[in-house]
């Protein structure tokens, strides 16, 4: 998958929402490269190369697309695992009051109130997400981009 790392500058990402989207786009693209690659290969094998190229830009023949899928499997699998871990723990930590409201949260981090517990868990996980998705996901995305360029 042709993964591009967007250049974030003051002119292109002015609002916090745009900066967040620009920062998470490489992680999402990298994390979804394996399912996109499998779907693109299936489309290529069923005789729909234009749809495969739209889904996963990059190598154009069946052999090259298969080579990209197989050679990129370690990077793509790790990226999918990283994205799954981030999504699972995001739901778990940001939804802390939903999951743990009926438990004894008075001794939890940030206790004795549920607001304090939620604030500590949400802030801690937000910081972890910045570290988790900012650098490792970009490194993986650059590796995927280099592999795609080499096979393209």
What is the C-alpha to C-alpha distance for residues 67 and 73, in angstroms, rounded to an integer?
10
Max mean pLDDT range (39-53, 106-120, 125-139): 39-53
Written as six digits, the tokens of 86 are 């981030």
**The pTM of the whole model exceeds 0.75:** no
Are the C-beta atoms of residues 79 and 34 closer than 8 Å to each other? yes
> Which of 12-16, 54-58, 143-147 ranks highest by mean pLDDT?
143-147
pLDDT of 9 over the 60 cut: no
Q: What's the rounded mean pLDDT across residues 122-146? A: 86
pLDDT in tens, 56-69: 888 888 888 888 88
Q: What is the arithmetic mean of pLDDT over 28-34? A: 85
pLDDT digits over 72-117, tens only?
A: 889 999 999 988 888 888 888 888 777 777 777 777 777 788 888 8
């Amino acid at each position: 998958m042709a993964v591009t790392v967007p250049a974030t500058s003051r002119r292109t990402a002015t609002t916090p929402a745009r900066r967040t989207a620009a920062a998470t786009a490489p992680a999402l693209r990298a994390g979804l490269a394996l399912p996109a690659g499998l779907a693109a290969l299936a489309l290529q094998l069923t005789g729909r190369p234009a749809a495969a190229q739209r889904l996963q830009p990059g190598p154009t023949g069946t052999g090259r697309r298969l080579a990209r899928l197989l050679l990129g499997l370690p990077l793509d699998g790790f990226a999918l695992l990283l994205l799954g871990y981030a999504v699972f723990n995001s739901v778990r930590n940001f939804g802390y009051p939903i999951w743990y409201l009926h438990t004894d949260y008075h001794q939890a981090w940030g206790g004795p109130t549920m607001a304090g517990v939620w604030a500590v868990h949400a802030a801690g996980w937000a910081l972890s997400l910045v570290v988790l998705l900012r650098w490792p996901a970009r490194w993986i995305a650059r590796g995927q981009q280099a592999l795609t360029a080499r096979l393209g």
